[in-house]
A and B are shown apart, each in its own frame.
Chain A
Amino acid sequence: MSSATIISLPDQSTARIPKTNFITKENGLLSWLLTGDHKRIAILYLISITFFFAIGGSLAGLIRLELLTPQSDLMATDTYNKVFTMHGIIMIFLFLVPSVPATLGNFLIPIMIGAKDLALPKINLLSWYLYMAGGIMILYTMMTGGVDTGWTFTTPLSTHYVNTNVLSTGLAIFVAGFSSIFTGLNFIVTIHKMRAPGMTWFRLPLFVWSNYAASILMVLGTPVLAIAIVLVALERTIGIGVFDPTKGGDPILFQHLFWFYSHPAVYIMILPGMGVISEVISTFARKRVFGYTAVAFSSVAIAVFGFFVWEHHMFIMGVSNYSTLVFSLLTMLVAVPSAIKIFNWSFTLYKGSITFETPMLYAFGFMGLFTIGGLTGVFLGTTGMDIHLTETYFIVAHFHFVMVGGMLMAFLAGIHFWWPKITGRMYPEKISQLAAVVTFIGFNLTFFPQFILGTLGMPRRYASYPEEFQILNVFSTAGATVLGVGYLLPILYLTWSLKYGEIAGSNPWQATGLEWQIQSPPLTENFAEIPIVDHDAYDYEWLEKMELAKKQHEGQEVSSVG
């Protein structure tokens, strides 16, 4: 690793954290719990999301520990069912869906577009409370025995055959769903109505574009999941028969409604992550994102296409061959906008002055792992391959490459990238680079063997497996341990840095976004005066001119004082 770096920390002997900022403005627990400030709500979200991530991660650890040996010896098979179900539910609804939008998006979108806050601050706070209500209900479910339907709530299993806490889980997801709807709604309204003068649509940072696209999915998709869950709950309690085959109902209808949300949900999870990557790549390659417009529209294209591919989760459920053909084709089409992004990021790197700070390492991890995850998705979208590979570990590896290798890497990239802005202090660079590398190695060791296991035919969702699969499973469990260390490290050193990190100053990365032109941590009202935007996003020449002008200005002041 060369010493090439773009960090320009202020002189540490004189550097100060600004006295007035959104953290110090008011004190006391109530000032946080009743806040309307998007930055404080983002931090509430960050803490709660990390908490649920830790629970979901521990459950993943239990799963891998059980799979270390071919027999089901650590826990009974029905306990295993509950553990992987709770892992899925917590990770998807309480971590991945809100991860980037509700934390980084909440914190940054108003600042990036030059606004004082989101359009509806109270609704924003309400959305956090709904999230917590959903989270507490999930915890209640876990305390009282959990649920074992898989996160997909497959009917008629969930409506008739299990006697675990389907209702409380369903209610939790319903409530958390509204939290997600309100976040999405707030973002769309904010981006439409609150942009600063001069901030046209094509001057928006790509992070805003991708969150906008994800918000559309949240607003249109989530209510369909809500109604599907309501119908399951009604079927379980009073016995209506919409999904009940004995009454002429069709369980496949549930699958349609469920995946109509749950496939776009994948894009709700990944799109904001892609936005983070755009910002990081541009900053650490010192170049405008190549093909800005194409990247912006590819986010919207993913959102639109994302609504028309849900049936590829149902190829083996007895749907018509003709519709299979159409959905298979549409599935492959989604790969196009995703590929546009990957190619454009690569072109952005081309001839850039690349430095290797931690966020960039995570971003590289994202690009590689997301590409593998995305391409294996095309395998699975091919009908012939799908019949062979679906419901095996291949599919588990595929979506973990996208969700963990893609989304979590992006989340960590974003957290590191904006950590100096959020807290005013730098994270320790060396150890965080180490953590990024450990995460990458651990991840590959965990999930790559699962591709092989899947092609060999090991089915998912079983606590035991034939002996010949053990060696690969041992690799996977070992990798999960390394991965666990990789996630534990940031939690430790980021907490450490809150007190002992070096003071970051307003723009340590020399980045161009509006958020970097204000103090860190920002003022409660973000901007002392409403900014007027007269340049495109990622305009590094503009930044140089600004810096130069500032220096001259300071020089004049010094000379006039002298």
Chain B
Amino acid sequence: MQQQVDATGFAMWLFLLTEIMFFGGMFTAYLIYRNWYYPAFVAASHQLNIFWGSLNTLILISSSFTMAMGVWSAQMRKQGALVLCLILTFILGLAFLGIKTIEYKEKFEKHHVPGAHYSLQSFLNPDSDQEAREAHDKPLPLDMARHTEIYFSLYFAMTGMHALHMIIGICILGFMIVRARQGAYTGGHVSFVEYFGLYWHFVDIVWIFLFPLLYLISRHQ
């Protein structure tokens, strides 16, 4: 039995390794294009809403905290505390996705979603755009402005894949809340909670990388 638990924990770490490779592909793409098209990345990054981004980071870190508390409660066999922590994590996860939806909606409205309706207006003529004005952006030459679409491609691919992981995590959380209320994890079988905790922290860490890479390019200027 101990062998089984050891094995499952090891498997979970290996799975997270494959997840690193999965996101690694996109981070590589980001690295390359950011080097090639730096001005476009700066201008496009200024279009993101720093307030919502920071709030989301805060929410996600809090959810990692509640998750860690959940693992601790399971180990201490406190059923009530475990259920509470899981529900809090669940709500914080939903809040993150809600805010993400608001941000995505902004992008749709400003035609910053890559594809047929993509608009370069904010980058060719920054004075017409509130965010660009606030960041004191200068107009980009047409060639460079075009490459903002690459930035937004990566933005949607990376945050989208991250959000997908969040959605999967929230579904599992829902399942766990039901099971935790039945006392499934507080009788000594904590490993499932622990491994889910690893997954949740991993998703959190991915965001910790995404936030500065996507939101904070040259904010200090």
Q: Say whether A126 faces chain B, with CB atoms less than 8 Å apart.
A: no
B23 contacts which of A227, A248, A260 (Cβ < 8 Å)?
A: A227
Return the contact of B25 from the options A189, A192, A228, A249 (Cβ within 8 A).
A228
Task: Say yes or no for A303: interface residue by CB 8 A criterion.
Answer: no
Q: What number of A residues sit within 8 Å (CB to CB) of B?
A: 37
B11 pairs with A239, CB closer than 8 A: no
**Which of B1-9, B46-54, B208-216 interfaces with chain A?**
B1-9
Whole-angstrom CA separation of A193 from B161 in the bound complex: 32
**A185-B18, A242-B157 known; A248+B7 contact, CB < 8 A:** no
Residues on B with beta carbons closer than 8 Å to the beta carbon of A250:
32
Given contacts A192-B10, A193-B6, A247-B150, contact A240 B22 (CB under 8 A): no
171-211 of chain A: CB within 8 A of chain B: 181, 185-186, 188-190, 192-194
Bound together, the chains give a CA A241 to CA B150 distance in angstroms of: 6
Q: Are A242 and B7 in contact (CB under 8 A)?
A: no
A319 at the interface (CB under 8 A from B): no
Q: Across the interface, which residues of A come within 8 angstroms of B152, CB to CB?
A: 240
Instruction: Please classify how large the interface on chain B is, using the bins under 10, 10 to 19, 20 to 34, 35 or more.
Output: 35 or more
Q: Could you tell me the distance in whole angstroms from the C-beta of B13 to the nearest C-beta in chain A?
A: 10
A242 surroundings in chain B (CB, below 8 A): 29, 33, 150, 153-154, 157
Docked-complex contact A227 and B22, CB < 8 angstroms: yes
Q: Verify B7–A119 contact, CB threshold 8 A.
A: yes
Min distance, Cβ B36 to any Cβ of chain A, angstroms: 8
State whether the Cβ of A219 lies closer than 8 Å to any Cβ in chain B.
yes
User: Judging by beta carbons under 8 Å apart, are A248 and B11 in contact?
Assistant: no
Q: Count chain B CB atoms within 10 A of each CB in A186, A190, A219, A239 and give the residue with the most.
A: A239
Residues of B near A257 (CB, < 8 A) are: 25, 28-29
B21-37 residues at the A interface, CB under 8 angstroms: 21-26, 28-29, 32-33, 36-37
Interface residue A354 (Cβ < 8 Å from any Cβ of B): no
A241-B149 in contact (CB<8A): yes
Q: A189-B14, A224-B22, A249-B150 are in contact. Are A239 and B115 (CB under 8 A)?
A: yes
Which residues, 145 to 182 on B, are CB-close (under 8 Å) to A? 146-147, 149-150, 152-154, 156-157, 160-161
Q: Are A230 and B153 in contact (CB under 8 A)?
A: no
Interface of B is mostly: helix
Given contacts A242-B153, A249-B150, contact A224 B21 (CB under 8 A): yes
User: Complex formed: what's the CA distance from A186 to B11 in Å?
Assistant: 7
Minimum CB–CB distance from B64 to chain A (whole Å) comes to: 23
Select from chain B the residue with minimum beta-carbon distance to A181: B18
Taking CB atoms, residues of chain B closer than 8 Å to A189 are 7, 10-11, 14
Q: Given A238-B115, A239-B115, A240-B115, are A119 and B37 also a contact pair (CB < 8 Å)?
A: no
A-side contacts of B10, CB under 8 Å: 189, 192-193
A119 and B19 CA atoms in complex are apart in Å by 20
Q: What is the distance, in angstroms, from B67's C-beta to the closest C-beta of chain A?
A: 23
Whether the Cβ atoms of A220 and B17 lie closer than 8 Å is yes
Asked if A239 and B116 make an inter-chain contact with CB atoms under 8 angstroms apart, the answer reads yes
Residues in B neighbouring A518, C-beta threshold 8 A: none
Give B65 Cβ to nearest chain A Cβ, in Å: 28
Cα separation A193 to B10 with both chains bound (whole Å):
9
B8 → chain A closest CB, angstroms = 7
Residues of A within 8 A of B22 (CB): 223-224, 226-227
Chain A nearest CB from B164 CB (Å) reads 10
Q: Which residues of A contact B3 (CB under 8 A)?
A: 193-194
Give CA–CA (A73, B39) in the complex, Å.
54
Q: Is B74 an interface residue (CB 8 A)?
A: no
- What are the residues of chain B within 8 A of A222 when measuring CB–CB? 18
Task: Tell which of A223, A240, A249 touches B19, judged by Cβ atoms closer than 8 Å.
Answer: A223
Pick from B18, B28, B156: contact of A240, CB below 8 A: B156
What residues on B are CB-neighbors of A239 within 8 Å? 114-116
B18 and A223 contacting across the interface, CB-CB below 8 Å? yes
Q: Is the CB of B14 within 8 A of A185?
A: yes
Which single member of A123, A228, A231 contacts B11 (CB below 8 Å)?
Answer: A123
CB-based contact B114/A185 at 8 Å: no
B8 touching A119, Cβ below 8 Å:
yes
Chain B, residues 95-130, CB within 8 Å of chain A (1/0): the string is 000000000000000000111100000000000000
Query: Is A456 part of the binding interface, using a Cβ–Cβ cutoff of 8 Å?
Result: no
A194 to B3, CA, bound (A): 7
Which of A119, A189, A231, A256 gathers most chain B CB within 10 Å?
A189
Most chain B CB neighbours (cut-off 10 Å) among A185, A222, A228, A257: A185
Q: Interface 1/0s, chain A 362-378, versus B by CB < 8 A?
A: 00000000000000000
- Contact check, A240 vs B114: say whether CB atoms are below 8 A apart: yes
Considering the complex, which residues of chain B in the window 177-221 have a beta carbon less than 8 Å from any beta carbon of chain A? none
In the assembled complex, which residues on chain B have CB atoms less than 8 Å from the CB atom of A120?
A: 7-8, 11
**Residue of A at shortest CB range from B161?**
A230
Extra A-B contacts (19), CB below 8 Å, given A119-B7, A240-B156, A248-B146 = A185-B11, A219-B14, A220-B17, A220-B18, A227-B25, A234-B153, A239-B114, A239-B116, A240-B153, A242-B154, A242-B157, A248-B33, A248-B147, A248-B149, A248-B150, A249-B33, A249-B150, A256-B28, A257-B29
Binding site for B on A (CB under 8 A): 119-120, 123, 181, 185-186, 188-190, 192-194, 219-224, 226-228, 230-231, 234, 238-242, 247-250, 253, 256-257, 260
The 6 A-B pairs with the shortest beta carbon distances in the complex, nearest first, are: A239-B115, A240-B153, A227-B25, A119-B7, A223-B22, A248-B147
9 contacts between A and B (CB under 8 A): A186-B11, A189-B10, A224-B22, A228-B25, A234-B153, A248-B40, A248-B146, A256-B28, A260-B25
